[in-house]
Chain A
Amino acid sequence: MSRRAFGAATLIPGVAAGAPLLLDEPLSFWGGLDPVLGAIIDRRHPQRGLNVAGRVLMMPAGRGSSGGSAILAEALRLGKGPAGILMLERDAIVVVGAMVAAELYGRACPVALASERDWRALAAAARLAVRAGPDGATIGLELHGPDARRAGRNLRR
């Protein structure tokens, strides 16, 4: 097993760890995520049926209805939200949902802005550990030998 770490910018502070889940297409939480189950329910989304609960959700950008913040907050309240979220573009809807869950329920779902050049390596990791503090974030990667190679090979381009 090898470890690496990348720097990122903190959008919402917190500490989280989990397996990465890279979205192949942007997902609107409203109409796209079932907050009670944590499942992707948008029928047009290529990853419909996958579950975001406990994963480090990698979504390059946000999409869709502004009702997404409440769905994210509700999923986090119920313990069915992602452990943390990595993005390549700032998205207000995602940030607010995570912030309100922290404020009302003390549920930390760190949101960090990663760098595009690290994105593929992050997605290929077996597990990501996000530490997002006021002065910046680090994303630690756990790469299990054979798994890591397989993950790298299977990575969608």
Chain B
Amino acid sequence: MSLDLSPLDRELLNGGHGGAAAFAMGLLARFAEAVGASRFIDIEAAHVDGCLYLGRASLDFVLRMTELDGKVRVPTTLNVGSVDLIHPELFRGRTEDAENGAKLMRAHVALGCAPTFTCAPYQSVHRPRFGAQVAWGESNAIVFANSVIGARTNRYGDFIDLCCAMTGRAPAYGLHLTENRAARALVEVDSPPDGWDPEQVAVAVGHLIGRRCGGLVAAIDGLPRETSEDDLKALGAAAASSGATALFHVVGLTPEAPDLETACAGLAPSLRLHLTADDLRQAARSLSTVSDGAPLGAVSLGTPHFSLAEFARLMPLIEGPRPLTDIFINCSRATLGELHQRGWEDKLRAARVTLVVDTCVYIGALMRVEAGAVMTNSGKCAYYAPANLGAEVAYGSLAECVASARAGKIVRL
């Protein structure tokens, strides 16, 4: 397959915009061939998921860019890093990892990226417009940008998101192109189990879509009417953990799905999934590795980063007796500032809440779990925590998480 390079692409490739841009464009050109793209498009913004220190390779890559004096060519936000630069004392891992983690975060800032360090930039620091072409990393952010906002990005992984930022270009393939955004799977959701809140429905549906629809674009019909933006965020995060979901449509709710026919662009779905209340119950159960009543070590909220609206849901729940276990909540620096302004920070701390910014506790090395399971309202956290933290995990609603923290064991409401 031959690549149709624009004059700008050639300049970038030939070093006309510096060595780092040339290095990035060289990788992008080979990447484009590998994914079957024949040309590049301009992007408006990038969200880079390279700040997590996963080993020497993460650092070596960015240091190559800084050594070549590189600068990003479009506004670029940063995903979470390995350490909380505002609260470094929270780090419990090896000093060497903390140092390398901080070095990696600062190297990205030296390239001109904004020090946002959040996995939910779309709720606090940069929300792309509908239809915007962007290059985003971080699976939950990708699925949110595509599905809830209607911006256009592929699932860019580590390294390539930065290459797009360094060049302002992205290969024209996949979800950048209108013809690939139509739903190919139809997911019909029955009435959810009694007493479930819309977030629980969203997490269970997301988990099942990831497992059963692979990377297909799904159109979901039958979500509760009260489903909020945060619920869709939870749905996408769960689906992008158990599967390769990058875009879903919710009929009547998300911007590219005013009705089912539009969501499917008139095509017949190649996969139909009918989810009963029992399917949802089973999916939720499969996210827990311990039984109800098991001792609780800690509660972890904010995967992806907790929004101000989610804090507003939490505040009334924490009124009452002081919990027996710690509650960790990940959020962005911007949201932390808002909490401070509203006077919520002190109330949260009084209720044994530890606020974590710049990173996420489920990545590890932050949360001290003495004994017992970690409980979360996040399908994504429940999915990854057993491997990442080596901990047992329980999934439950936000109210169940708080009630369990209060009881020191896993409680169902």
> A-side interface residues toward B, CB under 8 Å?
11-12, 26, 28, 30-32, 35-36, 41-44, 61-71, 73-74, 76-78, 89-93, 95-97, 99-101, 103-105, 111
> How distant is the Cα of A77 from the Cα of B30 in the complex, in angstroms?
20
Determine if A92 and B35 form an interchain contact, defined as CB atoms under 8 angstroms apart: yes
B303 to chain A minimum Cβ distance, whole angstroms, is 12
Q: Which of B154-162, B367-375, B400-408 contacts A (4 or more CB under 8 A)?
A: B154-162
Any A CB within 8 A of the CB of B50: yes
The 7 A-B pairs of least Cβ separation, nearest first, read: A74-B55, A69-B157, A73-B57, A93-B157, A70-B158, A69-B158, A74-B57
Determine if B157 and A67 form an interchain contact, defined as CB atoms under 8 angstroms apart: yes
Determine if A61 and B244 form an interchain contact, defined as CB atoms under 8 angstroms apart: yes
- Chain A residues closer than 8 Å to B56, beta-carbon distance: 74, 77
Main secondary structure on chain B at its contact with chain A? helix
- Chain B residues closer than 8 Å to A74, beta-carbon distance: 54-58
- Chain A residues closer than 8 Å to B31, beta-carbon distance: 92, 95-96, 99
> How distant is the Cα of A149 from the Cα of B49 in the complex, in angstroms?
45
A93 to chain B minimum Cβ distance, whole angstroms, is 4
- Chain A residues closer than 8 Å to B54, beta-carbon distance: 30, 35, 67, 70-71, 74
Determine if B241 and A65 form an interchain contact, defined as CB atoms under 8 angstroms apart: yes
Partner of B387, one of A41, A63, A96, A99: A41
A-B contact pairs, 25 of them (CB 8 A): A11-B34, A32-B387, A42-B387, A43-B289, A43-B386, A44-B386, A64-B240, A66-B49, A66-B137, A66-B142, A66-B155, A67-B49, A70-B52, A70-B58, A70-B159, A73-B61, A78-B55, A90-B35, A92-B31, A92-B156, A93-B155, A95-B31, A97-B158, A97-B159, A99-B34
Determine if B244 and A96 form an interchain contact, defined as CB atoms under 8 angstroms apart: no
> How distant is the Cα of A105 from the Cα of B157 in the complex, in angstroms?
19
Determine if A104 and B64 form an interchain contact, defined as CB atoms under 8 angstroms apart: yes
- Chain A residues closer than 8 Å to B155, beta-carbon distance: 66, 92-93
Determine if B57 and A99 form an interchain contact, defined as CB atoms under 8 angstroms apart: no
Residues of chain B from 35 to 85 with CB closer than 8 A to chain A in the complex: 35-36, 49-50, 52, 54-58, 60-61, 64
> How distant is the Cα of A96 from the Cα of B27 in the complex, in angstroms?
9
Determine if B27 and A104 form an interchain contact, defined as CB atoms under 8 angstroms apart: no
Any A CB within 8 A of the CB of B198: no
Determine if A77 and B243 form an interchain contact, defined as CB atoms under 8 angstroms apart: no
Partner of B160, one of A12, A31, A96: A96
> How distant is the Cα of A121 from the Cα of B293 in the complex, in angstroms?
49
Interface size in chain B (residues, C-beta < 8 A): 42
Determine if A65 and B27 form an interchain contact, defined as CB atoms under 8 angstroms apart: no
- Chain B residues closer than 8 Å to A31, beta-carbon distance: 383-384, 387-388
A76 to chain B minimum Cβ distance, whole angstroms, is 8
A59 to chain B minimum Cβ distance, whole angstroms, is 12
- Chain B residues closer than 8 Å to A30, beta-carbon distance: 54
Nearest A residue (CB) for B140: A65
Determine if B30 and A92 form an interchain contact, defined as CB atoms under 8 angstroms apart: no
Determine if B387 and A61 form an interchain contact, defined as CB atoms under 8 angstroms apart: no
> How distant is the Cα of A12 from the Cα of B139 in the complex, in angstroms?
23
Determine if A99 and B30 form an interchain contact, defined as CB atoms under 8 angstroms apart: yes
> How distant is the Cα of A157 from the Cα of B155 in the complex, in angstroms?
29
- Chain A residues closer than 8 Å to B52, beta-carbon distance: 67, 70
B234 to chain A minimum Cβ distance, whole angstroms, is 16
B404 to chain A minimum Cβ distance, whole angstroms, is 22
> How distant is the Cα of A100 from the Cα of B157 in the complex, in angstroms?
12
Determine if A92 and B387 form an interchain contact, defined as CB atoms under 8 angstroms apart: no
- B 256-299 to A, binary, CB cutoff 8 A, 1 in contact else 0: 00000000000000000000000000000000010000000000
> How distant is the Cα of A78 from the Cα of B57 in the complex, in angstroms?
10
Determine if B55 and A67 form an interchain contact, defined as CB atoms under 8 angstroms apart: no
Determine if A69 and B241 form an interchain contact, defined as CB atoms under 8 angstroms apart: no
A116 to chain B minimum Cβ distance, whole angstroms, is 15
B27 to chain A minimum Cβ distance, whole angstroms, is 6
> How distant is the Cα of A41 from the Cα of B159 in the complex, in angstroms?
23
The answer to whether residues A43 and B387 also contact, given A35-B54, A97-B157 and a CB cut-off of 8 A, is yes
Of B54, B64, B241, most buried by chain A (CB within 10 Å of CB) is B54
Residues of chain B from 111 to 167 with CB closer than 8 A to chain A in the complex: 137-139, 142, 154-161
> How distant is the Cα of A8 from the Cα of B405 in the complex, in angstroms?
54
> How distant is the Cα of A64 from the Cα of B241 in the complex, in angstroms?
5
The answer to whether residues A69 and B154 also contact, given A41-B387, A103-B27 and a CB cut-off of 8 A, is no
Determine if A66 and B138 form an interchain contact, defined as CB atoms under 8 angstroms apart: yes
